[in-house]
């Protein structure tokens, strides 16, 4: 394979269909290789009456084995009109038909799922209903589908494995940033992106350049026990800039407390009471690209950066430092935090030690408020909280 030839990534499109008898089916469509093909197929098929030819039944799917698919079906049940007559359905509880307990997975060849010409949007089609994050948190359903717009303020990878894209996106919207917070909702929500969720390149690029804090539209995510998950049926799109959908700067976060759960964002202020010397170290990096791949130059001064090729006379020193804090609001808790470079330098520069850095000189220093990601909360005997400082720009 020519290394300069772009690698084509093929994804199989799936469609959830409903016939005139109210039965659902998951249709596996042809493979696509570009996002424009995905967009084109979605616009041509979604919401329209289509003729399906040469169908092949692959599998009978049941509710207990395909709970995620049936959570999507439940969000569309009952249909807004009678599937056969298109008359309005009776809404009394005694007349309600239970949602289907099975459906079929079908396969169809390219060009055999054709929108009928002259047909407008089907009366059975239900476009997504966007909710605010506050409305989603207030719903007490055990599991349901939800769609919303939100601003991404932080990204946290859940695995160091390059092939595993599972991550947490911390999002917020104007409804959660509103003051005063009378109903004590969380200021941000963690959205878990499964590796099975298809993420478009435009979304990936926006997340990689997170300084812009992109606004995303999440369609058919799963809300369960006040947590939000994105699986293979979830669609994520990058939204254009909208002045009416603005949040305050800086972002308002919850304060760290004894009941703060793991995998959340919050703020913390405290006094340094100990330093974890076993995890403290420093290393030189390229002053141009910040890579740590430096190599000494034989018989010459300075270093050669293997990443960008620059000759580095004075490398930039980076440090890792984890400290224990005493927090006024957490009197009986052990709080350990991994600090970012900016905070480390500020903390070290505030000491009066002239020869290197002394642990004793760091003790008693006050830091914060800092934005932090809560990694671990252990409540087995006493409360132990592990934090990592994050930059929300």
Q: pLDDT per residue over 229-257, tens digit each?
A: 998 889 999 999 888 888 888 899 999 99
pLDDT at 122: 86
Which of 51-55, 321-325, 352-356, 369-373 is least confident? 352-356
pLDDT at 301: 87
Yes or no: say if 341 and 319 are a contact pair by the CB < 8 Å rule: yes
Q: pLDDT per residue over 203-235, tens digit each?
A: 989 998 866 789 999 999 999 888 899 988 899
Looking at per-residue pLDDT, the higher value among 156 and 85 belongs to: 156
Examine the pLDDT at 80 and tell me if it is beyond 70: yes
Q: State mean pLDDT over 129-146.
A: 88
Looking at per-residue pLDDT, the higher value among 35 and 54 belongs to: 54
pLDDT at 142: 74
Three-state SS for 151?
Answer: strand
Yes or no: say if 260 and 184 are a contact pair by the CB < 8 Å rule: no
Token representation of residue 166: 């599972």
Q: State mean pLDDT over 284-305.
A: 90
Contacts of 223 (CB under 8 A, 6+ apart): 136, 139, 141, 143, 144, 145, 146, 229
Q: Is 51 exposed, middle or buried (0-12, 13-18, 19+ CB in 10 A)?
A: exposed
Q: pLDDT per residue over 334-385, tens digit each?
A: 999 999 999 999 988 876 555 556 788 889 999 989 999 999 999 888 889 9
DSSP secondary structure string for all residues of 31-91: EE-SHHHHHHHHHHHTTB-EEE-S-EEEEEEETTT-HHHHHHHHHT-S-SB-TTT-PBPP-
Examine the pLDDT at 34 and tell me if it is beyond 70: yes
Domain 254-351+362-389 has what CATH class?
mainly beta
- Give me the architecture of the 130-238 domain, per CATH: Beta Barrel (2.40)
Token representation of residue 82: 């009678």
pLDDT at 224: 87
Percentage of the chain modeled with pLDDT above 70 = 88
Examine the pLDDT at 4 and tell me if it is beyond 70: no
Examine the pLDDT at 3 and tell me if it is beyond 50: no
pLDDT at 35: 77
pLDDT at 163: 54
Distances (CA, A) of 355 to 80, 235, 281, 360: 75, 56, 17, 13
Examine the pLDDT at 17 and tell me if it is beyond 90: yes
For the whole model, what pTM was predicted? 0.84
Do strands 130-131 and 143-157 pair parallel, antiparallel, or not at all (unpaired)? parallel
pLDDT at 169: 95
Q: State mean pLDDT over 291-296.
A: 91
Which of 121-130, 160-169, 370-379 is least confident? 160-169
pLDDT at 355: 53
Looking at per-residue pLDDT, the higher value among 141 and 278 belongs to: 278
Examine the pLDDT at 116 and tell me if it is beyond 90: no
Give span(s): CATH 2.40.50.140, the chain.
130-238
Residue 8: pLDDT band with limits 50, 70, 90: very low
pLDDT at 171: 96
pLDDT at 6: 41
pLDDT at 155: 92
């Amino acid at each position: 394979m020519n290394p300069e030839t772009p690698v084509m990534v093929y994804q199989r499109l799936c469609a959830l269909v409903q016939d005139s008898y109210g039965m659902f089916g998951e249709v596996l469509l042809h493979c696509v290789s570009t996002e424009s093909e995905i967009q084109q197929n979605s616009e041509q098929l979604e919401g329209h009456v289509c003729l399906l030819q040469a169908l092949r039944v692959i599998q009978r799917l049941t509710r207990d084995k395909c709970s995620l698919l049936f959570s999507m079906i439940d969000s569309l049940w009952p249909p807004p009109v009678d599937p056969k007559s298109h008359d309005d359905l009776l809404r009394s509880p005694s007349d309600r038909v239970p949602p289907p307990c099975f459906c079929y997975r079908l396969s169809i060849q390219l060009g055999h799922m054709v929108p009928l010409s002259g047909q407008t949007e089907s009366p059975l089609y239900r476009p997504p209903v966007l909710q605010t994050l506050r409305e989603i948190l207030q719903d007490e359903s055990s599991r349901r589908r939800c769609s919303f717009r939100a601003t991404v303020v932080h990204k946290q990878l859940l695995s160091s494995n390059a092939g595993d894209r599972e991550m947490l996106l911390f999002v917020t919207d104007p409804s959660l940033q509103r003051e005063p917070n009378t109903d004590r909702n969380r200021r941000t929500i963690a959205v878990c992106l499964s590796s099975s969720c298809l993420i478009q390149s435009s979304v990936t690029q926006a997340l990689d350049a997170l300084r812009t804090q992109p606004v995303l539209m999440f369609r058919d995510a799963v809300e369960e026990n006040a947590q939000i998950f994105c699986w293979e049926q979830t669609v994520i799109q990058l939204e254009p800039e909208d002045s009416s959908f603005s949040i305050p700067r800086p972002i308002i976060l919850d304060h760290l407390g004894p009941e703060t759960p793991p995998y959340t964002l919050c703020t913390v202020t405290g006094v340094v009471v100990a330093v974890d010397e076993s995890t403290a170290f420093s290393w030189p990096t390229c002053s141009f690209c910040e890579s740590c791949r430096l190599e000494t130059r034989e018989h010459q001064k300075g270093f050669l950066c293997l990443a960008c090729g620059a000759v580095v006379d004075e490398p930039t020193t980076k440090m890792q430092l984890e400290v224990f804090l005493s927090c006024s609001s957490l009197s009986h808790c052990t709080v350990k935090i991994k600090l970012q470079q900016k905070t480390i330098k500020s903390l070290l520069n505030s000491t009066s030690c002239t020869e290197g850095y002394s642990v004793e000189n760091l003790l008693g220093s006050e830091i914060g408020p800092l934005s932090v990601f809560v990694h671990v909360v252990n409540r087995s005997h006493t409360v132990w909280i592990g934090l990592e400082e994050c930059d929300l720009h």
